[in-house]
A and B are shown apart, each in its own frame.
Chain A
Amino acid sequence: MRLGFYFILLLSFLGCRKSSDSTAPELAFYHWKNEVNLSSAETDYLKNSGAEKLYLRFFDVDWDPERREPIPISIINISASDNLPATVIPAIFITNRTFLKIKSNDIVNFTNNLLLKIKKIQNGLPNIQIPEIQIDCDWSEKSRENYFHFLEILKNKLQKENRELSVTIRLHQLKYPDKTGVPPADRGVLMCYNVGDLQNWDTENSILDEQITSTYLKNNMTYPLSLDLALPVFRWGVLFRDGKMIKLLNQLDTSELSDPFFFTKKSEHRYTLKQSTYLRGHYLYPGDQIRLESVTSATLKTVSRQLKYALPADRRQLIFYHLDSLTVVNFPVSEIKEIQRIFGEAP
Chain B
Amino acid sequence: MSPIIKIISVLLISIIVSIPNQISKGCGPVDYSFKGYHFFDTDLVRTGSPFTDFFLRFDDFYHSYELADSVRNTSNLQEWNTIFCDQFYEKEIKEIVYGPVENIQAIKRAAEKKKNKLGLRLNRNSFARHLVDYQCMETIQYLLFAKSCEPHVSRNRNAWDAPKRDPVAMKALIYEGERVFLKLKSNNLKLRYAYQLIRLAHYATDYTMALDLYDRLLPRIDPVESIVHDWILAHKAGVLSRSGQNVEAAYLFSLVFDRSPSKREAAFQSFSIQNEKEWKACMLLCQSNHERATLHAMRASEHHSKPVGDMRAIYALDPENENLELLLAKEIKKLEKDFLGIEFNRYQKDNAKYHKIPRKEATANLIDLTQFVIQAGKEKKVRRPELWRLAEGYLLYLSNDLYDADKVFKEVEKTLTNEKLQEQLAVFRLVLKVTNYQEIDETKEQEIAQIIKKNDLYEKYPEFEKFINDKLAYEYLRAGHAGKAFRMHYSLEAIKPNPQANIINDLIEIALNPDKSKFDKILTTNKDGTEMVDDLLDIKGVMLWNRGEAAAALEAFKQIPVAQRGENRFNPFIERAKICIHCEQPDSLMIYNRPGILERIFELEFQANSDYANSASYFYQLGLAYFNLSYYGPSWNAMDYFRSGNNWRYAKSDIFEHWYFPFGNKENHDLSKAKAYFEKVLEVSKDRERSARATFWLARCDWLTYVTSSGYRAPRNSNYLPVLPPEYRVYYQQLEADYAETDFYKWVIRECKYFQAYAR
List residues of A whose CB falls within 8 A of some B CB: 64-67, 69, 71-72, 75, 113-114, 116-117, 120, 178-179, 181, 241-244, 246-247, 276-281, 283, 285, 287
Contacts and interface: CB of A to CB of B under 8 A. Distances in A.
Contact of A67 (B159, B299, B359, B360): B159
A285 B306 contact: yes
B644 interface: no
A71 B306 CA distance: 33
A244 B162 contact: no
Nearest to B364: A287
B539 to A, nearest CB: 35
A268 B747 CA distance: 74
B364 to A, nearest CB: 7
B102 interface: no
Contacts of B360: 242-244
B273 A178 contact: no
Contact of A283 (B64, B66, B305, B362): B305
A71 B278 contact: no
Contacts of B62: 65
A146 to B, nearest CB: 16
26 contacts: A65-B62, A66-B64, A66-B65, A69-B159, A71-B160, A113-B160, A114-B160, A116-B160, A120-B162, A178-B716, A179-B716, A241-B306, A242-B356, A242-B359, A243-B356, A243-B361, A244-B359, A246-B303, A276-B309, A278-B274, A281-B273, A283-B273, A283-B302, A283-B305, A285-B309, A287-B361
B66 A66 contact: yes
Nearest to B158: A113
Nearest to B365: A242
B160 A278 contact: no
Given A120-B162, A244-B359, A285-B305, 13 more contacts: A65-B62, A67-B159, A72-B159, A179-B716, A242-B360, A242-B361, A243-B356, A243-B361, A244-B360, A276-B309, A279-B275, A280-B274, A287-B361
Contacts of B276: 277-278
A246 B360 CA distance: 13
Contacts of B273: 278, 281, 283
Contacts of B715: 178
Interface in B407-435: none
Given A178-B716, A281-B273, A242 B160 contact: no
Of B160, B302, B360, chain A has the most CB atoms within 10 Å of the CB of B160
Interface in B18-77: 62, 64-66
Of B275, B302, B304, chain A has the most CB atoms within 10 Å of the CB of B304
Of A113, A246, A283, chain B has the most CB atoms within 10 Å of the CB of A283
B334 to A, nearest CB: 10
Contacts of B274: 278, 280-281
Nearest to B305: A283
Interface in B72-90: none
Contacts of A67: 159
Contacts of A242: 304, 356, 359-362, 365
B650 to A, nearest CB: 15
B356 to A, nearest CB: 4
Nearest to B62: A65
B9 interface: no
Contact of A71 (B159, B302, B359): B159
Closest 7 CB pairs of A and B: A243-B360, A242-B359, A71-B159, A113-B160, A244-B356, A278-B275, A285-B306
Nearest to B304: A246
B335 to A, nearest CB: 12
B713 interface: yes
B351 interface: no
A271 B430 CA distance: 44
A243 B159 CA distance: 38
B316 to A, nearest CB: 16
B272 interface: yes
B279 interface: yes
Of B302, B361, B715, B716, chain A has the most CB atoms within 10 Å of the CB of B361
B279 A281 contact: no
Nearest to B278: A278
Interface string B428-472: 000000000000000000000000000000000000000000000
Interface of B: 62, 64-66, 159-160, 162, 272-276, 278-279, 299, 302-306, 309, 356, 359-362, 364-365, 713, 715-716
A336 to B, nearest CB: 32
Nearest to A241: B304
A187 B115 CA distance: 67
Of A72, A242, A281, chain B has the most CB atoms within 10 Å of the CB of A242
A144 B526 CA distance: 45
A113 B156 CA distance: 14
Contacts of B159: 64, 67, 69, 71-72
Contacts of B362: 242
Nearest to B717: A181
Contacts of A243: 356, 359-361
A247 B305 CA distance: 12
Contacts of B716: 178-179, 181
B710 to A, nearest CB: 16
Contacts of A285: 305-306, 309
B64 A281 contact: no
B283 to A, nearest CB: 13
A114 B273 CA distance: 35
A178 B356 contact: no
Nearest to A113: B160
Contacts of A116: 160
A177 to B, nearest CB: 10
Contacts of B304: 241-242, 244, 246-247
Nearest to B716: A178
A113 B303 CA distance: 33
Contacts of B306: 241, 285
B61 to A, nearest CB: 13
Contacts of B278: 278
A178 B713 contact: yes
Contacts of B64: 66
B659 to A, nearest CB: 15
A178 B713 CA distance: 10
A117 B158 CA distance: 12
A281 B302 CA distance: 12
B310 to A, nearest CB: 9
Nearest to B358: A242
Contacts of A64: 159
Contacts of B361: 241-243, 287
Nearest to B277: A278
Nearest to B160: A113
B356 A117 contact: no
A116 B272 CA distance: 34
Contact of A278 (B65, B279, B305, B356): B279
A120 B158 CA distance: 14
A283 B160 contact: no
B656 to A, nearest CB: 17
B299 A283 contact: yes
Nearest to B300: A283
B333 to A, nearest CB: 15
Contacts of A113: 160
A68 to B, nearest CB: 11
A218 to B, nearest CB: 17
A120 B356 CA distance: 44
Contacts of A120: 162
A112 B683 CA distance: 70
A246 B359 CA distance: 12
Nearest to A240: B360
